[in-house]
Structure 1
């Protein structure tokens, strides 16, 4: 999969086999904002209806009239993926629209002249996130293409995320790239945390994470 920043409309054009997009966050005024619940976006009314039958929720016509937003009434969604081809999980540093570097936290993956060299990411996870917030270090860019375990006949969906928790959890639950596994069942969960800041302000955050599908 190409290492480019892609919006929903662009993905609809580029990936003709993708029928919808699962979202845990969206861009507002140039900032990434977490959503309170899973949102599925699709241009196909039949797909929207099938998703709502499987998970419950509310369908709304998009403001641009180009499809439907389905706000789902569930925090957990079981999916099926091929871990060798359906998942991109990298750390990416950008300056505006320019790509500066891509790495996996240990080695550089881009640019070609530096691929395989050690990257400069801190080993400590807290320092990595601090560098990303300061704009001096990369942040996650995760892309999954998958089938819904509750509705594989609906087609293939995509999820794009910059969540550290999702990126870290995928590394924990997925098999190594040197295996011959071509199908894995995972659960995408929305987690919620509440805490108080030093000033006494109550804050609630929502983030996605992946887990192994429990045995039946």
Structure 2
């Protein structure tokens, strides 16, 4: 069913417009940031993480940048800081998207829900999760790390190197969580695999304390049928 974060606070739903996942079902992951000196940093361009040197080399040739070893203790120990903030990818319908809210503990998730009901543990699945009704309250608890935050995983392939293997976009952005239902609807409106564009959009504003805030949010644009796009190129 996916996230139901607007069920208790429908007024927070945006008006329609014309880190952690450790699974190994993908060969690389796409990130919008990284940790530097134990602090999260938003990046201007996409970052690709992998444990396969061949994949790292192929990504660097396609998207720019150079493979680097950033954490030898991890299985995915290589990353490429690419030169692009927009990538064309192929997504196979809404089933390729896993979206939920998670509060992580030291050994794993301590709260996992869809915004209304628990998703785990199995004995509590379907029970009310007790999250606040208002979106602002949800975000504040997540900011304080005492409430769950978005965990959105999107499986895809690179449109210009389809055979490279599956990649995964891993995002914890509320901005993406707030529109992911629209993305899923758009994907389901396409017959077969969809050609999409994953981009990083720069956001800048001054908050209530007078402090300028700059960050980049992930944006997913569903362009149309991948098969049709391939046929046109031929």
TM-score by length of 2: 0.72
Change (3 A) 1:135 1:50: closer
CA distance 1:149–1:134, shift in 2 (3 Å): same
Q: Distance in 2 between matches of 1:171 and 1:21?
A: 22
Which stretch shows the higher mean deviation, 139-148 or 21-30?
A: 21-30
Alignment-derived partner of residue 55 in structure 2:
47
After superposition, give the CA deviation of every residue in 1:147-169 in whole Å (9 maximum; x if it has no partner): 01122122111222211122233
Report the CA distance shift for 1:168/1:211 in structure 2 as closer, same or farther (over 3 A): farther
- Answer yes or no: is 1:38 the counterpart of 2:38: no
Whether the 8 Å CA contact 1:169–1:209 is kept in 2: the answer is no
Q: Confirm whether residue 191 of structure 1 aligns to residue 191 of structure 2.
A: no
Residue 62 of structure 1 and its aligned partner are, at CA, apart by 1.3
Aligned length: 205
Q: Does 1:116 align with 2:123?
A: no
Instruction: Tell me the SS of whatever aligns to 1:121.
Output: coil
Partner of 1:152: 162
1:129-168 alignment, distance < 5 Å: 129-168=139-178
Unaligned runs of 5+ in 2: 1-18, 230-234
Q: CA RMSD in A?
A: 3.2
SS of residue paired to 1:34:
strand
Q: Determine helix, strand or coil for the equivalent of 2:122.
A: coil
Partners of 2:49 and 2:178 in 1: CA distance: 25
The correspondence for 2:117, drawn from 95, 98, 107, is 107
Q: Unaligned regions of 5+ residues in structure 1, if any?
A: none
Equivalents in 1 of 2:223, 2:175: separation in Å?
17
Judging by fraction of residues, say which structure has more strand. 1
Q: Which secondary structure state, in structure 2, belongs to the residue aligned with residue 58 of structure 1?
A: coil
Contact 1:169 1:211 in 2 (8 A): no
Contact 2:94–2:184 under 8 Å retained in 1:
no
Hey, what does 2:31 align to over in structure 1? 23
CA 1:101–1:198 in structure 2 vs 1: closer, same or farther (change >3 Å)?
closer
Distance 2:167 2:106 in 1: 28
- Number of the residue aligned with 2:65: 58
Cα offset, 1:208, TM superposition: 1.2
Distance 1:156 1:98 in 2: 24
